[in-house]
A and B are shown apart, each in its own frame.
Chain A
């Protein structure tokens, strides 16, 4: 463990160089720039390698086994992760559960769960959405009723990414039906092996099995697994979202699609086509402008300022741009734009379909772009409620 190193005291370039060389030399080449998420089996060796080096939880404080990076360093860590094409692991334990327990949990919960995340013993998934509570998350109906020392959960969660690889799930449950929706929600931790939990995988449009529907039939979890106070789950769930939106709004993923577009354009000599050049130029400039907007928020974070609801605009513009790039990539492929797998053109490998599939859910998850616009309308422009 290298917990004694104060990364925040390093200058940015030294830290960046160290992250880059570590990721480049240690991350398995065959798992770079994968089309979908990594399974737990694929992830585990890298997870353990990161854990051993003390680099698994860059966002957690040092006393809990994290790197304790300040926001500026954390952004560098992300940038280098994306630059190296590191796949998305079943990382909910690190990204969501850890920060939630550190901020809202109690000592017993932290002692019980955090080390197991670091050790790769617990793999977490997120139980937020329900079949009838998607964008309108606060209307969720999965219910928990206290019976003795245990909560009894009934209901169903959906779009639960990687639930089939998870050992634990954190769920938002209704614990009070008599109050305003947002005030009757609690945050519970549940072991996936608890009797009464079943799940089915849902194949996505790309043919990957990444998300699931999870069913709760009289599932019992001890009341010690309530995080924060009863009926305060909504606040907890919302608390961690703004920082996540900065990550989603990074121009890195659209840039990867742009690199594919560039390769394709050279291979098919598309720079002779004025129609293509027009659209390519517009998107390249959009991408640069996204960089300017992203950088503005990065600087804000570096100065230690809190991110407000206006961060939603970054997600809207980033994901719209990403999709436009992916769409131009398909169109510019002409007949190849319908090929399900990557193609070889003039000796260059180009994957036309993957950016289409990876960009598509970007305007839906984490609050759809329409929900982001509602947020901007209400909290930033302060337009009147309907």
Chain B
């Protein structure tokens, strides 16, 4: 793609996201805690029609075949408006895994339906908290009638509440298997835990679920490699979401500092608050600079170690900055900031949910330390 095309695409995406975000009603987000409708399929279809579900997907399946940096624009813009639909989990995580599939007919079928919005796949890879290691799983796939029989339990599945099927990782004698399991498969059951922002964390229990050979997405080292790469890519796009969250939260707060009057002056004239606002702004700008650098690194398809280090840099910085900025947004609003009616609370809660997903700041610093510092040290 030429530079000109890429700039044009980016502008188009950015405009469509801005238009869409303008129409978002935060009342729906505020009610998520009760309604538990983190995904509105009508909204989802609209997002598909705008092309967002296919930003990364290869063109031959109806996608746009664009870069992670393009996807980040969409994710960041929608996060600013607190759109709850699981765009990043589907359009990055599931899409990357499916696009790497060697099972051509399954890949074509699933990707085309994903891009059109007709099929919402949830990626169920994780089993224990606090790890990014795709191998730390106990899900078992035993050979059965040419395919597999699968047993085990997955946790922290994003987008599971409205999923039409699951991409599941499992161990087999022949290494890792990535399997497609429809939502209504016999032996598959889900349960949900509410997250801070009203979205839902899924648990997927599989008991003797049969998976036909036709539903094997990927196998062995290729499966594990593909999943690890998809997770890193998703972590960076989640970082873009965190940038959207912190950006809007700071905007709201700066507006408040300029208008709220105490002691006969706007509170933004007080140096204690000015300097704090500046420190938040610096963290926001730093996050933006780091995100841009890391997107460029990942879009260059480097080796695994470089890729993971960059993903960890982005997720650690953006997570910490978003948590700091949104929490300080409450503080700078005073008591009103702690009310249900005040929008900053919604940003705090989304920041916490995104922070915990795919490794928080601490988890990413530890991973970074492991490969970038401790290997070969001493």
Chain A contacts to B: CB under 8 angstroms: 265-266, 269, 271-272, 277-278, 280-282, 284-285, 288-289, 292-293, 295-296, 310, 313, 316-317, 370, 373-374, 376-377, 380-386
In this complex, the interface size class of chain B, counting residues with CB under 8 Å from chain A, is 35 or more
- Whether B374 sits at the interface, judged by CB under 8 Å, is yes
CB atoms of A386 and B271 under 8 A apart: yes
Beyond A313-B282, A386-B269, 9 extra complex contacts between A and B, CB < 8 Å: A281-B369, A281-B373, A285-B313, A289-B313, A289-B317, A370-B275, A383-B269, A383-B273, A383-B274
**How would residues 313 to 326 of chain B score, 1 for a CB under 8 Å from any chain A CB and 0 otherwise?**
10011000000000
Which chain B residues lie closer than 8 Å to A373 at the CB level? Answer: 274-275, 278-279
Question: A313 contacts which of B254, B273, B285, B292 (Cβ < 8 Å)?
Answer: B285
Question: B258 contacts which of A281, A295, A316, A383 (Cβ < 8 Å)?
Answer: A383
Q: How far is the CB of A321 from chain B (nearest CB, A)?
A: 10
CB atoms of B369 and A277 under 8 A apart: yes
CB atoms of B378 and A271 under 8 A apart: yes
Q: How far is the CB of A179 from chain B (nearest CB, A)?
A: 25
**How would residues 70 to 90 of chain B score, 1 for a CB under 8 Å from any chain A CB and 0 otherwise?**
000000000000000000000
The 7 closest A-B pairs by CB, nearest first: A377-B274, A271-B377, A383-B268, A281-B369, A292-B289, A384-B269, A292-B293
CB atoms of A285 and B275 under 8 A apart: no
Q: How far is the CB of A297 from chain B (nearest CB, A)?
A: 9
Which chain A residues lie closer than 8 Å to B273 at the CB level? Answer: 383
Contacts A289-B289, A381-B278 given; indicate if A277 touches B374 (C-beta within 8 A). Answer: yes
**How would residues 267 to 305 of chain B score, 1 for a CB under 8 Å from any chain A CB and 0 otherwise?**
011110111011101100110011011000000000000
CB atoms of B269 and A272 under 8 A apart: no
CB atoms of B286 and A285 under 8 A apart: no
CB atoms of A282 and B365 under 8 A apart: yes
Please list 6 pairs of residues, one from A and one from B, whose beta carbons are closer than 8 Å in the complex, sorted by A's number.
Answer: A281-B369, A289-B313, A293-B290, A313-B285, A383-B277, A384-B258
Which chain B residues lie closer than 8 Å to A265 at the CB level? Answer: 377
CB atoms of B365 and A293 under 8 A apart: no
Chain B contacts to A: CB under 8 angstroms: 254, 257-258, 265-266, 268-271, 273-275, 277-279, 281-282, 285-286, 289-290, 292-293, 313, 316-317, 365-366, 368-369, 372-374, 377-378
Q: How far is the CB of A5 from chain B (nearest CB, A)?
A: 31
Which chain A residues lie closer than 8 Å to B266 at the CB level? Answer: 384
Which chain A residues lie closer than 8 Å to B275 at the CB level? Answer: 370, 373-374, 377
CB atoms of A381 and B286 under 8 A apart: no
CB atoms of B282 and A383 under 8 A apart: no
Q: How far is the CB of A263 from chain B (nearest CB, A)?
A: 12
Contacts A269-B378, A282-B365, A384-B266 given; indicate if A376 touches B373 (C-beta within 8 A). Answer: no
Pick from A265, A310, A313, A382 the residue with the most CB of B within 10 Å. A313
Q: How far is the CB of A238 from chain B (nearest CB, A)?
A: 20
Which chain B residues lie closer than 8 Å to A278 at the CB level? Answer: 365, 369
CB atoms of B281 and A383 under 8 A apart: no
CB atoms of B281 and A376 under 8 A apart: yes
Q: How far is the CB of A9 from chain B (nearest CB, A)?
A: 24
Question: B378 contacts which of A266, A288, A310, A382 (Cβ < 8 Å)?
Answer: A266
Q: How far is the CB of A33 from chain B (nearest CB, A)?
A: 24
CB atoms of B289 and A376 under 8 A apart: no
